[in-house]
Structure 1
Amino acid sequence: MMQTARTVIFEQVGGPDVLEIQERPVGEPGPGEVRIAHRACGLNFIDVYQRSGLYPMDLPHALGMEAAGVIEAVGDGVTHLREGDRAVYAATPPGAYCDMRVMPAAQVCPLPDDISFEEGAAMMLQGMTVEYLFHRTTPLQPGDSVLFHAAAGGVGLIACQWARSEGITLIGTAGTDEKCALAVKNGATHCVNYRTEDWPKRVREVTQGRGVDVVMDSVGKDTFDGSLASLKPLGMMISFGNASGPVPPFNLGVLGQMGSLKLTRPSLFTHIADHETCQSMARHLFDKVQAKDVEIHIGQRFALEHVVEAHRALEARETTGSTILTI
C-alpha cells in the first residue's frame, strides 16, 4: 500500500490562513531522486513570498524549501546518499513542509552526526545564503565593512557570527534595542535601531564618514535608498530579498552619481543549481558550525499542524533567529 504524508499546501494566494494540511501519497524515488522522512523543516521569508503571490507559482502547490531527516530510499544514479543516511537540504521544488517526500537528490546533502536535525533544518537556506554573500558575490577581506539589515533574524545572526570569524566589521540594523543587543552579542560591531535612529546617518558616523564597502539588504523597498546612501565610492549593494516589498523601478544613472556604485540581485538557487557547488557550500557551512564559529539560533519551534501560527509570527517580524516546524 502506498504511503501518505501530511503535506502543507495552498490552493490560492493570500495570508497565512490559505495554508492547509492534506494527506498526500508518497511513492518510490525515480532516477536521480530520494525519498526522505523529515524530522524538522525550516521556515524562511521566501515561503511568505510564494504564499502571498509575490513569487508566482502554479496552484495548488506545496510549500517549504528546507528540511532535515533520514533517507528512506534512493533512486538509480544517486551516489552521494544511501538508505539510512542523515540528510539535509535547501532546494527546489517547494514542498518541504511535510512528513515525507520524494525529491531530486542533487541538492540533498549528507548531514554530519554532530549537527542535530533541528539545527540542520534551521540553517541550510540561511547559512548557504550567508556563504554566497561573503564568498561568492564580491571579494571581501579582513577589515572590510558590511552593513547588514535584519541582523537579528535567522540569516542575520549567522551573518554576524560569520563576519566575526572572518575579521569583517559588520554594522547591523534591527527593529528593537533587544534585537540590536542580540546582534552585537553574536558578532556585530555595531547595531542600529532603525525605528528610533536615522540609520544611514548613524552608519556614516560609525564609519567616520566613509561609508561601508558592502551592503547586504534583504528588506527591499523600505531600505533600498538608505542602503545606497550608506556605501563608500565603488561600494557594492547586494539586494537579496524583499521583506518590505520589491524595490521600485530604478534609474541606473544614480549609481554613477553616488560614486560609481555596484548593484546586484543574486539568488541562492542560482548558486546551488550545480550539484558540486551546492555540496561544497554545504560543507563550508558545516565546517563553520562544527568549529563553533557559527551557532544556529532556533528562536521558535512550531508543530507542523501549527504552520498558520508560524507564518503569522514570521510575517509580523515577531521572530528572532531561525524558525522551524517539528514533525
Structure 2
Amino acid sequence: MWPPVDPEALPSKTAIEEIKKEIKSIESEIAAAERVISSLKRSILERQAYIAPIRTLPHEIISDIFLDLCHEDWRMLLVLQGVCRTWRMIQFDTPLAWSFILHDEYEGGCTDLVCDYLDRSGNAALQAAITASDPQVHSKPGEANERIQCIRGDQMFINQILSLPGNFTNLERLILTSFRISGQGDVVPEWDMAILPNLKNLHVYSQDQCLNAITTSVEFPPLIELVVICNDPTPVHAILSRCSHSIQYIDVRYNDYLNEGSQSAPQTFPELRFLRLENKAERRDGPLWHFEGMNLGLYLYLQKGHTEAVVDIGKVICLGIDRKHNLSIRTP
C-alpha cells in the first residue's frame, strides 16, 4: 500500500506560475544582454571603419595631414609620434613637419627640443617663433639663418636672432610682437634691413621703439605687406617711402596722440590693393596721409577715426564705411 502523500509536497499552480515568471525574467535579461552585445559589435565596426582607412592611406597623405596639424600646434608633432611606430617613421621622413619651431617654455628644457627640430627639419624652410627666456634657445635658429623663412617673437628674441652673423636671405616674413615686456636695454637703436633682402611681409605690434629703429636703416627691402599697431604712426611714413613702388597691403592702427605739425608728402603707390587706416584717438591733428598713383585701384579701403587720409575714392572698388565719419569726402 502506497504511503500517504503530503499535499504540500505536490507542485501547485502558484509554484508553476512563479517558475514561469522567473523564466520570462531571465529571457528578458538575455534579450537585453544580446541588444547590448549587438550595440557593442556595431560600435566596434564603426571604429574599425574609421581606423582601417588610416592604415591603408599612402604615407604621403598622412604626411600632409600631419603638416596641417603641426602648423596649428607644434606640440601635436610630439603627441602623434607616440601613437605608433609607423606614424613616428612618417614624421621622421617629413622634414617640413619639423620646420615649425614655435616653442615657449616647455617642461624638460627647450634647448634640446629646438636642436631636435633643427636636425630633423633637414633643409626645409624654417618658421621660428620662440618665447622661451633661455638665451641658448634664441641662438639656435640663427645657426640656420639661410633657411629661416618666417620669424615671430618679441624684440628680445628677434634682436638676438638678427644680431647673429650672416644674412637672412630667405626670410620673407617678420612679425614683431609684445609677448612680454623686455627691458629698455634690449632695444637695438638701429636696424640694418640690408640683411633681409627678400623680406616681403613686416608686422609690428605695439613695438614703437622697434618701429623707430627700423626707419634708421639705409637700405630697405621691397615690402609687399605692412601691418602696424602703434601709438605714433610717424615712422610709418619713412617705411612707406622706401617701399612705395612695391607695397600692396597696408594696415596701420594707432591709438595715441600724433606728433604735432607732422605731414607726409604725397607718395605714389602703383601696386597698392588694400588700405586700412584707424585712428583711435579723438584729436584731429597729425600727419596727412597721401595715397596717389594707384594704377590698378584699391580692392578695399577701410578707415576709422580721424586719419586725415587723402585717397582717390574714384579708384576704390570696395569702400569701408565708418559710422562716425564720411569717407567719401576725403578726395585729393
Q: TM-score, normalised by structure 1?
A: 0.27
Q: Give the structure with the larger helix fraction.
A: 2
Task: Provide TM-score, normalisation by structure 2.
Answer: 0.27
More relative contact order, 1 or 2 (CA 8 Å, 6+ apart): 1
**Where is the strand percentage greater, Structure 1 or Structure 2?**
1
Q: Which has the larger radius of gyration?
A: 2
